[in-house]
């Protein structure tokens, strides 16, 4: 399981890991995203703000894993049953939003137990023999094979960020600055989160909507960056195409 969790492998090596962000349902879309680039290591399946149901999530997780891309599920909130459903689907990791305190983060770790052994298969995105885990291999690796990321997005979380970062079992502090222009206060907050993660020996993740932004943060020592979001980029690309078609007509 550790061998096929591409995000975890990069985090353990201290290397940057780039991923995609899926908000729209559909496994054909999943496969298109996952087969788009060899260095796309993970796919975030967004149940918080995306249009993805529970059954779609199960199918998308399986499709992503079959393509050799680690499926990471952002649950709608940190409810135990939501986390269990994500793990039942075979997710390689979870992202939990709105973590305010160290106790919140501690609960997320406690709720997280892997169950979807059949989703952990080793296969190259462009097709090779599938290697499945035995039951013994699953039991030996389960506790260490899940990436747990918590989203730092509130004032309370920022105040408690060092305590959150220090918790065993928390792998990534994730930031989602969905703002086109960042003021100095936000820049400072992002840096303080990154500093807390670094001090605790944890990784920092951040939402990016372009490869250029992702590379910028990778150069700053961040390790988990999205490079594109399906719904956002489809809208922008269609607008660009229609604007070009209209021209000066």
Residue 183 burial (CB count, 10 A): 9
Structure tokens at 163: 């305590």
**Is 49 tagged catalytic?**
yes
Quick check: 102 and 45 in contact, CB under 8 A?
no
**C-alpha–C-alpha distance, residues 218 and 115, integer Å:** 32
**C-alpha–C-alpha distance, residues 139 and 125, integer Å:** 26
User: Which entry of 49, 92, 124, 126 is annotated as an active-site residue?
Assistant: 49
The 3-state DSSP class for residue 187 equals helix
DSSP state, residue 119:
G
Quick check: 25 and 52 in contact, CB under 8 A?
yes
To which H or E segment does residue 204 belong?
Answer: strand 203-206
List, in order, residues 6 or more apart from 222 with CB less than 8 Å away.
16, 194, 203, 204, 205, 206
Quick check: 229 and 43 in contact, CB under 8 A?
no
Nearest residue to 197 (alpha-carbon basis) of 225, 221, 227: 221
Q: Where in the sequence numbering do the catalytic residues fall?
A: 49
């Amino acid at each position: 399981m550790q061998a096929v969790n591409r995000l975890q492998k990069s985090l353990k090596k201290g290397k940057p890991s780039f991923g995609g962000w899926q908000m729209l349902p559909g496994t054909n879309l999943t496969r298109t995203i996952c087969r788009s680039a060899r260095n796309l290591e993970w796919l975030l399946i967004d149940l918080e703000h995306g249009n993805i149901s529970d059954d779609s999530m199960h199918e998308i997780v399986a499709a992503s894993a079959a393509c050799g891309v680690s499926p990471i599920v952002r649950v709608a909130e940190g409810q135990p049953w939501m986390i269990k459903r994500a793990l039942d689907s075979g997710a390689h990791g979870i992202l939990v939003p709105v973590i305010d305190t160290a106790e919140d983060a501690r609960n997320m770790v406690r709720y997280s137990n892997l169950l979807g052994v059949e989703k952990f298969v080793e296969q190259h995105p462009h097709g090779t023999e599938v290697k499945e885990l035995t039951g013994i291999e699953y039991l030996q690796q389960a506790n260490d094979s899940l990436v747990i990321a918590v989203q730092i997005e509130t004032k309370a979380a920022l105040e408690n960020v060092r305590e959150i970062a220090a918790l065993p079992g928390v792998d990534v502090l994730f930031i989602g600055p969905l703002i086109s222009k960042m003021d100095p206060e936000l820049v400072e907050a992002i840096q303080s989160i990154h500093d807390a993660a670094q001090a605790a020996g944890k990784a920092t993740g951040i939402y990016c909507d372009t490869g250029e932004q992702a590379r910028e943060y990778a150069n700053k020592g961040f390790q988990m960056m999205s490079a594109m979001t399906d719904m956002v980029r489809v809208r922008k690309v269609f607008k660009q195409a229609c604007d070009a078609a209209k021209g000066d007509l």
